Amino acid sequence: MKYGFFDDIRREYVIDTPRTPLPWINYLGSEGFFTLLSNTGGGYSFYRDARLRRLTRYRYNNCPLDQEGFHLYIKDGEMVWNPGWQPTQTELDFYQCRHGLGYTVITGKKSGISVVQELFVPEKDNCLLMRVTIENTGNEGKNIMLFPYVEFCLWDAMEDGSNFQRNYSTGEVEVSGSAIYHKTEYRERRNHYAVFWANREPEGFDTSRERFIGVYGSPARPEAVFGDGCTGSIAHGWQPIAAQEFHIHLTPGKTDQLIFGLGYIENAEDEKWESPGIVNKRPALQMMERYRNSESIDRELAALKAYWNALLSHYTLRCADEKLSRMVNIWNQYQCMVTFNMSRSASYFESGMGRGMGFRDSCQDILGFVHMIPGRARERILDIAATQFPDGSAYHQYQPLTKKGNSDIGSGFNDDPLWLIAAVDAYLRETGDLKILDEAVPFDNNEQNKATLMEHLRRSFRYTASHLGPHRLPLIGRADWNDCLNLNCFSAHPGESFQTSGPSEGAVAESVFIGGMFVLYGGRYADICRSRGLSEEAEKTEECIREVREAVLRDGWDGEWFRRAYDAFGQVVGGKACSEGQIFIEPQGMCVMAGIGVESGEAAKALRSVEERLDTKYGIVLLQPAYTQYRLELGEITSYPPGYKENAGIFCHNNPWIVCAESILGHGERAYQVYRRTAPAYLEDISDIHRTEPYVYSQMIAGKDAPTFGEAKNSWLTGTAAWTFVSISQAILGIKPTLNGLKVSPCIPKNMIEYTVTRKYRGAVYLVTVQNPEGKETGVKEILVNGEAFSDGNILPVFPEGSIVNVTVTM
């Protein structure tokens, strides 16, 4: 069952009922100011950091769901309704939500009144804008009232949701003209306030929730809206809000328009006040002035469109499969931008209060984002590297606002250092900017202790090389990519963090997965060394890699697949002899991507085992058989009921690893099959089962052991976005950036007979048409570059900036 449709021309997903299986959201904003917005107008805003600079409140597990947001109440006689249906849930005559790239348009119609709410964050400003167009489509004159409403958050979302003895006394606002200023804590240590404004004077306002909603009222029935209108309340403590009242008279066919904004303003310390106790409003007034009229909104919306056109033009596909095109050209890349911006911080499943930016997460996000804005990827790489410790290990997470590592989680996740190499390698392949390697970057954010980025990479590599266990496989530490395989944790008390309890390191527990990573990204590090003329370091590196590759094939191989790990007692995890958890997906993907066992046959066997044992119709599950009991020596993975999350859920993130691995063996049919099973556009028809947005990936789909097989959770913020983009754009369609140029090596299904990729790469535009007249899966027979035979392998050289390069590839 579907709840809408893709409008590919406008690059929108159009939702035609407010009763989606879950709120289906969009992300507005792409650098400083962000808003999450659902299809019914729910959501929240923050500036840079969803924990430390939260502008509006959101109650994640509220009932009914998704009540807080950017709602408009329309009062038409005695009837009250919202164009987005929530929170009154008054039945509408017409409802539609269009989620586009960086904007959302919600339309509601009721009894001859049509209201269109257009919401977006302008490209270069710290505010959310909302243009509201009201039309009388009936044949009688109408007097309606309109009330916008937002509830402020007292900045630190964690404190806001827990420290009520303080919060209920600190709230402060100011009202001036058509604006409401939220200035809690501005009198003391903050230099920022929020402002909600309209581009016209309201008839009334409220800033106290008790007065507008009522102590025992609800957003579904605000007392002011259902009763005698706004009361002019000024909040002192309790819950500050911004609500306004407008009276609108419309003759038949007539339209009126209002513009609302929610802005974030910072003032310099010596410019905080206009007069004692009165905030300096100058920058807010300037902000309001910028968006006074409808033309300014049109201009900003056009700029936003142009911004996205430019971003998406770096990789575009033309092919016969409309679902594939919309994933590649629009939604997968869009999600890559969102994951790059948010890491795993703020969504409808990630509260924004826990983790900030993840070290491994953000490194992987770069793989899917770097081609869009390499300059921002560069900056991010340097920020991440600055949270690395001198010994090469790293903080697992850091706060986006401070860019400092979070000590409560600390370090000890032994895959982290290698992901830094992956990110830098992707950046170098995209840009060729070797100068980044000479940047001086702190360790542990300490400006007194800096080294070049190249030296950071060396320490990343050395960290793993010097932390090998009894089988000469890498020690796992607190966990590797799988945060829930906690082999040194032994937690027996509820509430303990599986990731931070127990010693950060044991001398026995080893990870075959990190072994694969070490071979793969160690190899990339060696290539980088060579490109800098460091051949001795490259050889030393390759020597270490050889040793680990042998260890993986010796003690990491189980006979039909790669083992997962050795636990703290030296017992195999992920082997045939185990009673549960016999085979895991991660080492099969990673070891084959690293080329381990490709020539000697283990790789093909491992992938066959994946297909036989882990495949389901909705994707590949993480492991089998699912763990049915909690096992102290394995940790969180066994805490989940069978079929959920890391315990045999379809963890979408590592499905594309199998796609990449299959492509290494030239299995185009299988690679494409795996790709398609989890790609959201192909799941649109089963939205009632899948439940999350059909335009983005979710972290997890319940596996075959779960009672809710096929149901997805945790949409949007997942490394799946970056990795599936890598898997489809590079592994399947075969357009791969390398250190020396653009490689073309498709690995496709036999019935894909022709496609064209337009790839902007290092300033040139490559128009690559792949023709497959004989229905092959892989192998390039001939390449023509600008009409002439290209006989120099399949790596196209870097062309001068501005060149247009016509490439025809025959398979």
Closer Cβ to ligand GLC, 300 or 480, answer by number: 480
Burial class (CB in 10 A: 0-12, 13-18, 19+), 695: buried
On whether the CB atoms of residues 347 and 24 are closer than 8 A, the answer is no
Q: Which helix (H) or strand (E) holds 663?
A: helix 655-664
Query: Closest separation between CB of residue 384 and ligand GLC, Å?
Result: 13
Burial class (CB in 10 A: 0-12, 13-18, 19+), 665: middle
Give the span between the Cα atoms of 76 and 136, in whole angstroms: 11
Give the span between the Cα atoms of 102 and 28, in whole angstroms: 5
Closer Cβ to ligand GLC, 699 or 724, answer by number: 699
Query: Closest separation between CB of residue 657 and ligand GLC, Å?
Result: 12
Closer Cβ to ligand GLC, 191 or 497, answer by number: 497
Closer Cβ to ligand GLC, 334 or 481, answer by number: 481
Query: Closest separation between CB of residue 700 and ligand GLC, Å?
Result: 8
Closer Cβ to ligand GLC, 692 or 699, answer by number: 699
Give the span between the Cα atoms of 359 and 377, in whole angstroms: 14
Residue 584 amino acid letter: F
Query: Closest separation between CB of residue 638 and ligand GLC, Å?
Result: 12
Q: Would residue 160 show up in a list of annotated catalytic residues for this protein? A: no
Give the span between the Cα atoms of 56 and 792, in whole angstroms: 58
Residues 6+ apart with CB under 8 A from 300: 120, 122, 123, 129, 291
Closer Cβ to ligand GLC, 415 or 430, answer by number: 415
Query: Closest separation between CB of residue 521 and ligand GLC, Å?
Result: 15
Closer Cβ to ligand GLC, 431 or 486, answer by number: 486
Closer Cβ to ligand GLC, 411 or 431, answer by number: 411
Which listed residue (483, 555, 567, 705) is catalytic?
483
**What is the Cα 174 distance to its own chain's centre?**
36
What's the Cα-to-Cα distance from 264 to each of 318, 347, 533, rounded to whole Å?
41, 20, 49
Q: Which helix (H) or strand (E) holds 170?
A: helix 164-170
CB atoms near residue 190 (< 10 Å): 15
Q: Report phi then psi at 572, rounded to 5.
A: -70, 135
Closer Cβ to ligand GLC, 358 or 749, answer by number: 358
- Closest chain position to ligand GLC (CB): 483
Query: Closest separation between CB of residue 646 and ligand GLC, Å?
Result: 5
On whether the CB atoms of residues 582 and 575 are closer than 8 A, the answer is yes
Express the helix, strand and coil content of the chain in percent, nearest 5 each.
30, 30, 40
Torsion of CA 306, 310, 315, 321, to 10 degrees: 10
Q: Report phi then psi at 507, rounded to 5.
A: -90, 0
Give the span between the Cα atoms of 596 and 731, in whole angstroms: 17
Closer Cβ to ligand GLC, 29 or 649, answer by number: 649
Query: Closest separation between CB of residue 417 and ligand GLC, Å?
Result: 14
Would you list the DSSP string of 32-62? Answer: SEEEEEETTSBEEEEES-TTTTEEE---TT-
Angle at 353 between CA 350 and CA 357, to 5 degrees: 75
Provide the token pair at 641: 């009921």
Query: Closest separation between CB of residue 391 and ligand GLC, Å?
Result: 21
Residue 46 amino acid letter: F
Residues 6+ apart with CB under 8 A from 397: 355, 356, 357, 358, 359, 405, 406, 409
Query: Closest separation between CB of residue 332 and ligand GLC, Å?
Result: 17
Query: Closest separation between CB of residue 564 and ligand GLC, Å?
Result: 13
**DSSP-based three-state secondary structure for 241:** strand
Closer Cβ to ligand GLC, 489 or 742, answer by number: 489
Buried b (16+ CB within 10 A) or exposed e, 506-521: bebbbbbbbbbbbbbb
Would you list the DSSP string of 745-770? Answer: --B--TT--EEEEEEEETTEEEEEEE
Query: Closest separation between CB of residue 413 and ligand GLC, Å?
Result: 8
Query: Closest separation between CB of residue 674 and ligand GLC, Å?
Result: 18
Query: Given phi > 0 = left and psi -120 to 50 = alpha, else beta, which region is 96?
Result: beta
Would you list the DSSP string of 326-374? Answer: HIIIIIHHHHHHHHHHHTTSBSSSSBSSS--EEHHHHHHHHHHHTTT-H
Q: Which residues bind ligand GLC (CB under 6 A)?
A: 344, 358, 360-361, 481-484, 499, 636, 645-646, 699, 718
Count how many residues are written for the chain.
811
The partner residues of 246 in beta bridges, in order of sequence, read 146
On whether the CB atoms of residues 604 and 614 are closer than 8 A, the answer is no
Query: Closest separation between CB of residue 256 and ligand GLC, Å?
Result: 46
Closer Cβ to ligand GLC, 38 or 639, answer by number: 639
Residues 6+ apart with CB under 8 A from 231: 204, 206, 211, 212, 224
On whether the CB atoms of residues 94 and 109 are closer than 8 A, the answer is yes
Closer Cβ to ligand GLC, 114 or 364, answer by number: 364
Residues with catalytic annotation? 483
